[in-house]
């Protein structure tokens, strides 16, 4: 039986950030920690603003050989020179997106707490599936993903899995044997020192 490897960190940007300061903050985290991938999330619907954010972060990530994906904006991936897309609506667009972007692009799918949706996403060609939130939060509809889903997935499904949303120290300790990645976002960006906050979360790996 293979030795259990520790999960990797998948960073999620804040939905709004200052272009004058956030790229430097991100660079500091990437320089201090090994990061598998960065997801650019933008609350803005302004194409120019999204493009400027992507350009700034791409410079930081690609200089450090870290993949950068964008949330939902499939058509912007190639234009902005990004590595792929994270789809927030489950398996619905995975097959079409894979066809549009080709085999080399990263295509991920957020499937909330749906095992069925996650399996469909994997079968449709997703590179990873993410489930969340993993703890109680005021956001969303109150759904919490049970540990059993990650445990089952890690035993049965080969597609890598991401745990994200309301990550607590306890949740990380519980899930680290069963998840390939932790999707870390506000858990560190809301702190004064993101580098230190991420180190504290990683200290919970078992």
Domain ranges of the chain: 8-199
Strand partners for 110 = 130
Class for the domain spanning 8-199: alpha beta
Label residue 177 exposed, middle or buried (CB < 10 Å: 0-12, 13-18, 19+): middle
Question: Is residue 1's pLDDT more than 50?
Answer: no
Do residues 177 and 163 touch, judged by C-beta distance below 8 A? Answer: no
Q: What is the pLDDT of residue 138?
A: 82
Instruction: Express each pLDDT in 19-56 by its tens digit.
Output: 999 999 999 999 999 999 999 999 999 999 999 999 99
In this structure, the strands spanning 106-110 and 67-71 are unpaired
Q: What is the pLDDT of residue 4?
A: 59
pTM higher than 0.85: yes
Question: Is residue 12's pLDDT more than 50?
Answer: yes
Q: For the residues 59-72, what does the mean pLDDT come to?
A: 98
Q: What is the pLDDT of residue 168?
A: 96
Contacts of 143 (CB under 8 A, 6+ apart): 112, 113, 133
Instruction: Express each pLDDT in 151-177 by its tens digit.
Output: 999 999 999 999 999 999 999 999 999
Q: What is the pLDDT of residue 34?
A: 97
Do residues 53 and 42 touch, judged by C-beta distance below 8 A? Answer: yes
Beta strands in 47-200 (DSSP E): 67-71, 84-87, 106-110, 128-131, 161-164, 181-184
Q: What Å distances lie between residue 174 and 68, 133, 140, 144, 163, CA to CA?
A: 28, 14, 22, 14, 11
Q: Kindly calculate the radius of gyration of the chain based on its CA atoms and give it in whole angstroms.
A: 16
Q: For the residues 47-67, what does the mean pLDDT come to?
A: 98
Instruction: Express each pLDDT in 114-131 by its tens digit.
Output: 999 999 999 999 999 999
Percentage of residues of the chain with pLDDT beyond 90: 93
């Amino acid at each position: 039986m293979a030795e259990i490897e520790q999960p990797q960190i998948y960073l999620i940007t804040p939905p709004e950030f200052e272009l004058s300061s956030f790229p430097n903050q991100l660079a500091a985290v990437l320089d201090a920690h090994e990061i598998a991938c960065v997801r650019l999330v933008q609350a803005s619907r302004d194409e120019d603003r999204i493009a400027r954010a992507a350009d700034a972060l791409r410079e930081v990530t690609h200089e450090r050989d870290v993949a950068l994906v964008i949330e939902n904006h499939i058509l912007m991936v190639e234009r902005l020179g990004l590595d792929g897309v994270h789809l927030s609506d489950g398996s619905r667009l995975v097959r079409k997106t894979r066809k549009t972007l080709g085999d080399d692009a990263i295509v991920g799918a957020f499937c909330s707490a749906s095992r069925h949706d996650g399996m469909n996403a994997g079968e449709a060609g997703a590179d990873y599936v993410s489930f969340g939130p993993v703890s109680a939060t005021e956001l969303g509809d109150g759904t919490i993903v049970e540990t059993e889903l990650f445990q089952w997935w890690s035993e049965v499904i080969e597609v890598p899995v991401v745990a994200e949303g309301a990550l607590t120290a306890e949740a990380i300790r519980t899930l680290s044997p069963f998840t390939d990645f932790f999707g870390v976002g506000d858990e560190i960006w809301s702190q004064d020192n993101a580098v230190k906050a991420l180190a504290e979360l990683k200290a919970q790996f078992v």
